[in-house]
A and B are shown apart, each in its own frame.
Chain A
Amino acid sequence: MRLKHMAIIIGVCYGIMAILPIFVGDVRFIMNILIMCLIWAVVASCWDVMMGFAGIFSFGQVAFFVMGAYCSGILAINHHVTPVLSILIAGLFTAGMGVLVGLPCLKLAGPYVALVTFGVHMALQPTLRGEIGIALGSGGSVGLLTIPPISMFGYTFSSANIVPTFYLTLLVSLTCALIIMFMIKSYWGVAFLALKDSQDFAMSLGISAFKYKLMVFALTSFLTGIIGGFYGHFYGVLSFRMLDLDLFSILMVMMLVGGLGHFPGAILGSFLVVAGSELMAPLGAYRAVAMGALVVILVLALPDGVMGFFLKRSANKIV
């Protein structure tokens, strides 16, 4: 897809989002959902860059999100770091963790990468709940309860004044989306795609697999960590329950609805899926069942997602 098309789709998506508060600005419940849309859009896009563009089969994105959220929360509560700074530190911390996880993954084949990253996800929950987590200040099985909201220039962005908070989220989310867009279109993005298509050939052209794969890990986990920290400060409470598979499956559905490797698709997908999932709320506990079934059906029936429809003709020449 061309840069222009990407920019148009992103612009339309975020433009519609930006108008919505005029109509529903005083309905707290809907505003919360919209903010969630914007946050998940970033996480799903990062995951898409990892899987769809770089072809690294990582299942650790939710773990990075939770790491970012916890890191920022712990810094703000226990060490009284001001929230904006703590979010930045959380992003850097998560980027570091991303590189650490990425290092053993460099030499491994598909399922091993999936396993190591899924293992990070699985090992994070007992770590946060156990003594190690408590020593770090994760609050054990209670979680973090009193994360201060973001405040800048004497103004507090909490859920009490939700419309300004919404626009702040929009700004952060849009910035992340634009960073991802330019990254995909830059030399780096082409290098990612080349490595995905044929690692040996790309390396023979002088593209360092080591450098670029680590870069993908660092960049996607940096953005995920930033948005994770933001989520923590917006919500005010964090629990290791986020690592249950519900969130994981919803993010996966977002990516698949949008179409794997069709970048703005993940943003579109997350808006559609959050809305759809709220509509499915009457299903109660069956919603998770439906989400799981949806993943299976989407992989089988709609491998390119919504974006695949738009791009049917040029599906093979995305670059």
Chain B
Amino acid sequence: MFSEDTILLLYEITDVIIAGLSTGSVYALMAVGMTLVYGVTKAFNFAYGEFFNMGGYFAWILIFGLGLQFGGYLMILVIVMPLMFVVGYGLEKLLVAPLRKRQDWENKVMMLTLGLSLFLSSLYMVVFGVSMKSLPPILDGTLEVGQLVFAHQDIMIFIMSLGGILLFGWMLNNTRIGMAVQAVAQNPEGAKIVGIPQARIFAATFAISTVMVGFGGILLSQKWFINPNSGGIIMVKAWVVTAFGGMGSIRGGLYAAFIIGMLEAFVGWLFGMSYGIIALFILLLATLVLRPQGLMGKGE
């Protein structure tokens, strides 16, 4: 019924879709973290991409530097996630919190986190070298359905990042700290009146977003590489996903992440990888012009 060429093309397209789904799921993770931290604390974090790489580097240190043998990625997650939380909490308390009292602190935070991002990326370059590092895949092997081949790695990335988002959504709606975060996002004054410690919630929110992007870094660094220079591009991608999905809307971010993951995969397949960022940029501009509140944002 189909010619040989058409079938080959279909296989190729399936591959591209799988790649798009697995990167898209990680983008969703990053976008949710970003929409959380900006929505709640109004602090825009330019060093977001560096935390992505930080997760990757922590995992790399555990595997190759310390020779972690047992437990595999589960063990790594158990060690790295609390570490990322501590780093995020500490940095918020140390750097962002003192700025809050000043005039136009939002701009100051942007400059400060940009400085932090430059600091971290050049620190990575000094400590780990300019060459890219790679992590071993979570699971080796492939799953074959008929003639279609799925890498276990892709499936695991997809499942784990979706699991992370679901866990996060559950936390936000069912735990005390999650509800406190929501309260601060909805009405900072009211939250203060009922006795929610605002400063601590801000720091915790920042820390949670750091954990999420670090998790994304561990997952995606197995497919790509850990590149000390890539922080800026990753931050822009996470922000494009957030803006496209709609600020403050977790579901919108989820849809946007998969659309953008697919877009990038297809543009990369058709024109070459270096056009991915240009396509994203055009999409961002189109979004801002046509629908500034994003796919599912609440609007003005």
Report A's interface with B, CB cutoff 8 A. 57, 59, 104, 107-108, 110-112, 114-116, 118-120, 122-123, 126-127, 129-131, 244-245, 248-249, 252, 256, 285-286, 288-289, 291-296, 298-300, 303
Contacts and interface: CB of A to CB of B under 8 A. Distances in A.
Given A119-B284, A249-B118, A303 B278 contact: no
A292 B99 contact: no
A303 B274 contact: no
Contacts of B118: 245, 248-249, 252, 288, 291-292, 295
A30 B229 CA distance: 31
Interface of B: 38, 44, 46, 95, 98-99, 102, 106-108, 110-112, 114-123, 125-126, 229, 232-233, 236, 239-240, 243, 272, 274-275, 277-278, 280-281, 284-285, 288-289, 292
Smallest CB-CB A-B distances: 4 pairs: A295-B115, A292-B119, A288-B122, A292-B118
Q: Is the interface of B mostly helix, strand, loop or mixed?
A: helix
Given A245-B118, A289-B126, A303 B281 contact: no
Nearest to B102: A303
A298 B38 CA distance: 23
Given A129-B274, A249-B118, A288-B125, A115 B108 contact: no
Given A110-B44, A130-B274, A252-B118, 15 more contacts: A104-B289, A115-B240, A115-B243, A116-B285, A116-B288, A122-B277, A130-B275, A245-B117, A245-B118, A248-B118, A256-B111, A285-B122, A291-B122, A296-B112, A296-B115
A292 B110 CA distance: 13
Nearest to B120: A292
A291 B120 CA distance: 11
Given A104-B288, A295-B111, A289 B274 contact: no
Contacts of A288: 118, 122, 125-126
B73 to A, nearest CB: 30
B229 A289 contact: no
B130 to A, nearest CB: 9
Contacts of A116: 284-285, 288
A36 B239 CA distance: 34
Contacts of A256: 111
Contact of B277 (A110, A126, A248, A252): A126
Contact of B110 (A57, A126, A291): A57
A295 B284 contact: no
Given A104-B289, A300-B98, A114 B110 contact: yes
Nearest to A121: B232
Contacts of B115: 249, 252, 292-296, 298-299
